[in-house]
A = this chain, B = another copy of it.
Amino acid sequence: MATRKEVALEAGVSTAAVSYFINNNGYLSQEKREKIAAAIKKLNYRPNLLAKSLKTNDSKQLVFICNEIRNPFHAEVAYGASSEAYKMGYMTMFCNVVDDEDYILKMCSYMVSGVFISTTIIRTATINKIAQMNIPVVILADRQRQGLDPSVTQITIDYDKAMGALVDHVLEQGKRRIAYVASSGMQDSARYDGKTKALFAHCQEKGIALNPNWFVEHATHTQAAYDAVQAKIFTQSDLPDAFICTNDATALGVIRAITDNGLRVPEDVIVTGFDNTVYGQMSTPRLTTIDLGTLNISRETVGLLLEKCQGKDVNGGVIDPLFIPRESTQVPQ
């Protein structure tokens, strides 16, 4: 690869002039412009963005952290985030890893412009260390975190409303034997997420006692959910009549497990999802779920992040969930 120096030599100008040309600032005669343009073309020159980043102290790289890109919700967030970043001329580094603080901090050591966190399963201490590197951070998550560096912008989801709608709907269907399928562990308070908390609160309010034998943990994905439900629920003689699942991906695995045990959804057992993914819209039966406007919120969150990068003061927000009843919970009349 040719460097700036070679271009300057070829064009018979200073290296500064080449810089001015490329960044379109400073004063440059028409004649020089043409010479430089010709030299760039001839040498097939491309500016080294890494060197530029070092000088300007900004790499125009965003880092995006999520814990499971194979979950269609996260894939949608990643899609929205990276396409918005693209539109604004930013690159996005992708991080699948949530528990290796050293790796995450390394990733942030490339003078990145900002960090977008889309997962609950990351330690507050890790987030704070990123913030202390003076990197703008936004987090899209399921609950307001305590003890977070005040510079971090939080965008949370109104889980009380969402889980309230789900629980009320389940009760309206005459079901009271509720199983809960979570992606996190129930006992581990660090991962005790907003959904779980809201579910428990609403059931208590409605006088429903949840059976701890029907809590399924660590159902991080479709296959894991299928396996966990088979192992933990269908080995019991006493069975639930409703499954509230942490997301659509999980719910699809649960429905398969139910069907494989000779029961029908929704006639025998009802199932709810979360996220309103396309797979839940297209499945048989279609999933009752919660819509968050995923694509839009991921885009808006990147927008917020980029405003922070420009030094603007930015407010977090709360996402209003929309309840969508479909076939997986309602027996046709």
Contacts and interface: CB of A to CB of B under 8 A. Distances in A.
Interface of A: 1, 44, 46-51, 53-54, 59, 61, 64, 68-70, 72, 75-76, 78-79, 82-83, 86, 91-97, 100, 103, 105-107, 109-111, 132-134, 221-223, 226, 252-253, 255-256, 259, 278-279, 281-284
Nearest to A100: B86
B61 A70 contact: no
Contact of A61 (B72, B93, B281, B284): B93
Nearest to A106: B49
Nearest to A48: B109
A111 B109 CA distance: 15
B79 A96 contact: yes
Given A252-B279, A282-B252, A91 B110 contact: yes
Contact of A94 (B51, B53, B76, B93): B93
Contacts of A50: 50, 53-54, 59, 109-111
A272 to B, nearest CB: 16
Nearest to A279: B279
A92 B106 CA distance: 12
A315 to B, nearest CB: 26
Given A91-B95, A252-B283, 19 more contacts: A1-B134, A46-B105, A47-B109, A48-B109, A50-B59, A50-B109, A50-B111, A61-B93, A69-B75, A69-B78, A82-B94, A82-B95, A91-B93, A93-B94, A221-B278, A223-B278, A252-B282, A253-B278, A255-B282
A303 B212 CA distance: 44
Contacts of A110: 49-50, 53, 59, 61, 91
